[in-house]
């Protein structure tokens, strides 16, 4: 059965959701996106995702459809998918206002689409025993807080991790850990949780924010502070978070064991608390 896609105001079969060859999303990566999880038939923190979409749009001067339209579109594809647990992807580009030109068009009609898909279950071995990561120089732009569709360097980093037999790549900029190729990154030293502060070099992850709130609720000390690479190697625990990754322990970085080489107590507590939040 063909997937149903929300495309510019209508629900259409997947094969009919096509864009112009001069859509600015394709020509200039002139677009933004969000991925929202649904658990048990309900969206998880959808309002946080929509707020971030608005922030990203404002940063690049991109006109958005109304939030009511976006909410309805995401709910519509989710309901039509027949899924209870899903990942809903929504993307907005500046559309195709005319022949290719670098300057922003005076008038633009956004291209908007949304689709719901099953979420592959996390590898139980990685959830239980941890995953491996490698570090990659962070050569991305200085607007990583915008959830842009321009993800080439993220894709190359992810592939470098897979080529090295790892599951995630961790970006390092000016000697400090920023984030993962598709995740936010955390370290734990002497019971204190550390993660890079908000700013232009990381995406303010929705799952990251949930983790920080859970840590406060659990009485875990938190410092939003950049982690030097040497401190990352010496950390007792490392984990990453993301909409589809949830809370994933990292037990090896660049071939070096993290702590005792297995998921630590702070990571396990936060992962369990996060699972409880999604069940709720």
Does the active-site annotation cover 158?
Answer: no
- Whose tokens are 């396990």? That residue is 268
Instruction: Kindly report the number of other CB atoms within 10 A of residue 216's CB atom.
Output: 12
Tell which residue, 274, 236, 252, has the closest CA to residue 167: 252
Active-site residue (options: 24, 37, 126, 147): 147
Angstrom distance (rounded) from CA 144 to CA 199 = 8
Print the SS3 string covering the chain: CCCEEEECCEEEEHHHCCCCCCCHHHHHCCEEEEEEEEECCEECCHHHHHHHHHHHHHHCCCCCCCHHHHHHHHHHHHHHHCCCCEEEEEEEECCCCCCCCCCCCCCCCCEEEEEEECCCCCCHHHHHHCEEEEEEECCCCCCCCCCECCCHHHHHHHHHHHHCCCCEEEEEECCEEEEECCCEEEEEECCEEEECCCCCCCCCCHHHHHHHHHHHHCCCCEEECCEEHHHHHHCCEEEEEECCCEEEEEEEECCEECCCCCCCHHHHHHHHHHHHHHHC
**Strand 42-43 to 31-39 pairing:** antiparallel
Angstrom distance (rounded) from CA 261 to CA 259 = 5
- Catalytically active residues are 147
């Amino acid at each position: 059965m063909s997937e149903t896609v929300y495309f510019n105001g209508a629900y259409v079969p997947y094969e009919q959701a096509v864009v112009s060859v001069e859509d600015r999303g394709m020509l200039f990566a002139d677009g933004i996106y969000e991925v929202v999880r649904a658990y048990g038939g309900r969206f998880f923190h959808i309002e946080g995702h929509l707020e971030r979409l608005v922030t990203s749009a404002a940063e690049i001067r991109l006109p958005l459809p109304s939030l009511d339209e976006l909410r309805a579109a995401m709910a519509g594809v989710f309901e039509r998918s027949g899924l209870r647990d899903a990942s809903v992807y929504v993307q907005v580009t500046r559309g195709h206002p005319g022949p290719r030109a670098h300057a922003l068009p005076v008038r633009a009609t956004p291209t908007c689409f949304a689709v719901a898909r099953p979420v592959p279950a996390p590898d139980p071995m990685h959830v239980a025993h941890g995953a491996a990561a490698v570090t990659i120089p962070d050569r991305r732009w200085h607007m990583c807080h915008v959830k842009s569709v321009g993800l080439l360097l993220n894709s190359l980093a992810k592939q470098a991790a897979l080529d090295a037999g790892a599951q995630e790549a961790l970006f390092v900029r000016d000697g400090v850990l920023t984030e993962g190729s598709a995740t936010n990154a955390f370290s734990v030293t002497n019971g204190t949780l550390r993660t890079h502060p908000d700013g232009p070099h990381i995406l303010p992850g929705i799952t990251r924010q949930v983790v920080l709130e859970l840590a406060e609720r659990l009485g875990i000390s938190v410092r939003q502070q950049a982690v030097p690479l040497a401190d990352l190697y010496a950390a007792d625990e490392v984990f990453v978070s993301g909409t589809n990754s949830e809370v994933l322990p990292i037990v090896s970085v660049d071939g070096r064991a993290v702590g005792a080489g297995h998921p630590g107590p702070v990571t396990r507590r936060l992962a369990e608390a996060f699972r409880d939040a999604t069940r709720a």
